[in-house]
Structure 1
């Protein structure tokens, strides 16, 4: 059973990881653990209070199959965690690494997007970071982008982000597609 870490922090965008978390945990029976920088509860942009399972220090690419990072306002406030170590570890071990919204730009800041196709809220948001050298591989599109085990999306694409994470984990079965495609039906 795949084991997935969801890296939350205060002011995370609660709608961004919701579908992928429900699909993984409820429909596919994966182990989904939430984490925060210090293991203390966090509050989302929508006011959801989450008592997390563990601190970021316990997220180990050897023990987890995926690390999913939702965006939010922590980056705009200058309070976001530096994901360089975690992102690099997951990438180097070929594990699934997903960033949506501001978290896609956080992945750009680590350099892990420099050699893979990717997207995000905008190219300009990635280019704010000196470690980002992947502009030629940026895809300006509304749907999530998956290149190998790395998945990125704009904050407006939680549906296709969930789909691509499941595909990266090799969990995109006809049953998963049938259930989850209904959530994106309005966009067709």
Structure 2
């Protein structure tokens, strides 16, 4: 129960890679964290594989002061999330507040849109490497990269290392 008392928000949109949302969600709950799933509105979203995922709260209900970390899963959802000004601003505020911003796979698009990656080491799905580099980040092909309060991973197979890094960062 290393995360007892910690509050984490996980973002959702249609076409999320379900395992990249559900694995961290349950792993963080297992460690004692309170985890909320947030979407542009409170409704049921459909993942890439059709699995329904209900948002507990909407993006505009999130107060950065009330959470310790934001987790952004991949799939095609990040392309939709980054179009939402509230979600992009939240990502920037979490980062600027020194709170954990964790993203996996294509989710690097959200911190790119938030303008927080310049000079940072990150990883992500290989197809967004150019996007990350063009945003000023140094791309590292590794299962997990931690740079300050940023935690990033590439693919679902990296989820164990991704979650360990999030838990470690929140436990320090």
TM-score, with normalisation over the residues of structure 2?
0.85
Does the aligned pair in 2 maintain the 1:109–1:126 contact within 8 Å? no
Aligned equivalents of 1:145, 1:31: Cα separation in 2: 24
1:64 to 61, 64, 67: 67
Does the aligned pair in 2 maintain the 1:21–1:32 contact within 8 Å? yes
Q: Indicate whether 1:3 and 2:7 are aligned.
A: yes
**Corresponding residue number in structure 2 for 1:163:** 164
**Corresponding residue number in structure 2 for 1:179:** none
**Corresponding residue number in structure 1 for 2:132:** 126
Aligned equivalents of 2:9, 2:61: Cα separation in 1: 10
Q: CA RMSD in A?
A: 1.8
Aligned equivalents of 1:44, 1:108: Cα separation in 2: 22
**Corresponding residue number in structure 1 for 2:94:** 90
Q: Which has the higher strand share?
A: 2
Aligned equivalents of 2:13, 2:55: Cα separation in 1: 10
Segment of structure 1 superposing worse, 80-89 or 113-122: 80-89
Does the aligned pair in 1 maintain the 2:74–2:104 contact within 8 Å? yes
2:103 to 99, 102, 107: 99
Q: CA deviation at 1:118?
A: 0.9
Q: What do the CA deviations read for 1:96-118 (whole angstroms, capped 9, x no partner)?
A: 11111111232123221213221
Displacement over 3 Å in runs of 4+: 78-83
Distance change (3 Å), C-alpha of 1:67 and 1:153: same
**Corresponding residue number in structure 2 for 1:147:** 147
1:20 to 18, 24, 39: 24
Q: Which has the larger radius of gyration?
A: 1
**Which segments of 5 or more consecutive residues in structure 1 lack a partner in the other structure?**
172-188
Aligned equivalents of 2:54, 2:23: Cα separation in 1: 19
Q: Which has the higher helix share?
A: 2
Q: What do the CA deviations read for 1:107-166 (whole angstroms, capped 9, x no partner)?
A: 123221213221111322425x6xx112xx22122x111112211111232221111111
Distance change (3 Å), C-alpha of 1:28 and 1:80: closer
Aligned residue pairs total: 162
